[in-house]
Amino acid sequence: MDAPDPARRPRLDDVAAEVGVSSATVSLVLRGIAGPSAATRERVLAASERLGYRPDRAASVLASRRSRLIGIMVDINNPYQLQLIDDVHEAAGRHGYTIILSAVTRGQDETRAIETLLDSRCEGLILLGPEAGDQRLNALGRQLPLVVVGRPVRSSVVDVVRSDDQEGMEQTIAYLVGLGHRHITYIDGGKGVVPTLRRRIYRGAMSRHHLVDHIQVIPGGATEGAGGLAARAMLQADRLPTAVMAFNDRCAMGLIDALIRADVDLPGSISIVGYDDSTVARLAHVDLTTVSQNTHQLTEHAVTALLTRLADRGAERQDIVVPPHLVVRGTTGPPRDERPPT
C-alpha cells in the first residue's frame, strides 16, 4: 500500500486504507456511532492518530448543511458566567458540537454579540443572563433554537434553565434569622429581570419572618465598585445593620473591602452573604458565605434542552429550575450587640 502524500492533509479514505475497512466504518467510529466492533474502533483510532487525520469541518458543513456549532453569549466581566463556559464546552463536546463564544464587552453590546453568533452559522444559541426583553428573545427563538440561562422568560418558544432564586434568597434570610439577625440589609443589583426578582424576594422573605420594619434596600449593582459605594452609604447611616446580603459575590467583595478599610469587624460587627459561589469566594482569605447556583447542573440542562430543540423544533417548551444551596463560610456569625457605631 502506498503511503499518503505527506504534502497533503490525510483524508478519511487514507485511514480506511490503513486499517483495511470501508470509509463508512471509519466515519462511524470517529463520530462515536454504534456498529463497528471494539477491536475495529481501536484500530481506526490508532490509525487516525498515527496519520494525523483531523475531520474537515468545512467539508462536513457543506455536505450536511449543518455547522455543529452552538453559539454562547457571555458577559466577559461576569466571573459567574465565565464559570459556566468550561461545563458548556464539555457537555456540547460529548454530543459532537463545538461552541463559539461571543462576549459582551465595553465595545460590543448584547445585540452585536448575538449578531456575531448568527453570522457564524450557529445551529442554536445559549444566552447567559441576557438583558434583552422578552419580545426580543421570543423573536430570536422563532428564528433558531434558543436557550436562556439564568433568568425567567415569558415565552412559548424559548427554553429556559435557571436557578431557583426564590429558594436561594429564602435560605439565606432564614439562615441569618436563625443566627439571631433582625437588621438584615440587601444590596440591590440595579436594573434588570434578576435584580428586580431578587429584590422582591428579599422583601417577601423579611415580611414572612415578621421583619417588615427592618427591610432596607441599598442601591448597588453587580460590581465591586457598587459594593464599595453601598458600604459608604451604610457607614454614613446612624446605625449599621448586623447582616448584609449582596446581589452577587462581586458586590459582596467590594462591600467587604470598603468595610475592612473602615476598620469594621467582620463578621463580628456585620455578617456578609454573597450570591454565586465564585472561585474568589472560596479562597481561604475570603471565605465568603454565599449561594451556590450549581453551575454544572445548569449547563448540563442547557445543552440538553438545546439539543432537544435542535432535534424537534416542535418539542414542548422547557423551563427548568435548578435548586441552589447556601454555602456557609467565615463571613457570617451571630449578631453583635445592638448599639450605634462609635
Tell me what pLDDT residue 37 has: 85
Please give the single-letter amino acid code of residue 173.
I
Name the pTM for this structure: 0.78
Determine how β-strand 216-218 pairs with β-strand 184-187: parallel
Q: What are phi and psi of 332, to 5 degrees?
A: -130, 150
Per-residue pLDDT at 299 exceeds 90: yes
Per-residue pLDDT at 298 exceeds 90: yes
**Euclidean distance between CA atoms 231 and 220, whole angstroms:** 9
Per-residue pLDDT at 143 exceeds 80: yes
Neighbouring C-alpha atoms within 13 Å toward the C-beta of 28: 14
Pick from 18-27, 66-75, 148-157: least confident: 18-27
Could you give all domains of the chain from N- to C-terminal order, each with its CATH number?
12-55 (1.10.260.40), 67-163+294-322 (3.40.50.2300), 165-293 (3.40.50.2300)
Q: Kindly indicate the confidence band of residue 224, based on its pLDDT and cuts at 50, 70 and 90.
A: very high
pLDDT mean across residues, the chain: 90
Q: Which of 97, 83, 108, 31 is nearest to 290 (CA)?
A: 83
Name the more confident of 143 and 13. Answer: 143
Per-residue pLDDT at 63 exceeds 50: no
Q: Kindly indicate the confidence band of residue 27, based on its pLDDT and cuts at 50, 70 and 90.
A: confident
Per-residue pLDDT at 342 exceeds 60: no
Under a CB-based contact definition with an 8 Å cutoff, are residues 81 and 129 in contact?
Answer: yes
Q: What is the percent of the chain with per-residue pLDDT over 90, rounded to a whole number?
A: 67
Tell me what pLDDT residue 338 has: 52
Mean pLDDT of all residues in 91-108: 91
